[in-house]
Amino acid sequence: MNAEVVILGRRISMAHQSRRRALVVILYAALAILMVVLFVSTGWRGTGGFVIWAAIFACRFFLGGYYSGGLVKPFNGKAPKQHVMPPSLLALKLRVYQAVPAGDDSAWRSDERELHQRDHAHYLAFQAIGAVICVPMLIASMRLIRPSLMSWIPMPPDAMYYGLTLVALILFLTLPQAILLWTEPDMEEENQEE
């Protein structure tokens, strides 16, 4: 796991667990607010994909896991490809772009403890995503058996199932990294010896 994240060109230390937890809370709160705003304004008609893009953006620049940026090393344990294309305008504007250093790829590889942590985080995320997927199944079952019991839900069924699927997809993209950031204890400085 990397110890710092770049936001607006500033390197911010994430060595402390409390900071990483705060980042996770902020990112999920932002995604939740975005979902609510898009639902209220458009009913997710044509805009639900924006939430997915926001989750990908969060992974790309803050959470990591799939890309060169972010705190969690790439899950596949491989160094990211060198960019032949220039960074996106958005990344440059927000000054979150980090160039991938050439040569030594050891910084991208996870060691055996990190791989163990990665696998455990995916196991936990798998349970959580399974639980989320159960919700639309249960609601749909109730609608089929006793439609009157589900009449209190203030949302068209399609929008509700779409929203729950969107939540499951966001969790699929972000939850393993969030679990890693949440559970990893304070990181010691390289020169901090006991």
Partner 1 sequence: MNDNDVQPPGESGLYNRIAVLRAERGISRQSLADGVGVNYQTIGFLERGDYGPSLKLAFQIAEYFDLPVEAIFSTRPLKPLSQQVYASSKSPEMGKP
- By rule CB under 8 A, what string of x and - marks binding of each residue 105-124 to partner 1? -----xxxxx-x--------
Min dist CB 185 to partner 1, Å, is: 8
* Residue 50 interacting with partner 1 (CB under 8 A): no
Q: Which is nearer to partner 1, 18 or 191 (CB)?
A: 191
Q: Quick check: 181 and 19 in contact, CB under 8 A? A: no
* Residue 104 interacting with partner 1 (CB under 8 A): no
* Residue 187 interacting with partner 1 (CB under 8 A): yes
* Residue 193 interacting with partner 1 (CB under 8 A): yes
Which residue, 98, 41, 107, is CA-closest to 74?
Answer: 107
Give every CB contact of residue 4 below 8 A, 6+ residues apart in sequence. 11, 12, 13, 14, 15
Q: Which is nearer to partner 1, 147 or 189 (CB)?
A: 189
3-state secondary structure of 35: helix
* Residue 188 interacting with partner 1 (CB under 8 A): yes
Q: Which is nearer to partner 1, 21 or 143 (CB)?
A: 21
The one segment of 25-33, 78-86, 126-134, 184-192 that binds partner 1 by CB under 8 A: 184-192
* Residue 81 interacting with partner 1 (CB under 8 A): no
Quick count: other Cβ atoms within 10 Å of Cβ 177? 26
- Half-sphere exposure (CA, 13 Å, Cβ side) for 56? 7
Read off the DSSP letter of residue 27. H
Q: What is the Cα–Cα distance from 19 to 149, expressed in whole angstroms?
A: 43
Question: What is the contact surface with partner 1 in residues (CB under 8 A)?
Answer: 1, 110-114, 116, 187-188, 190-191, 193-194
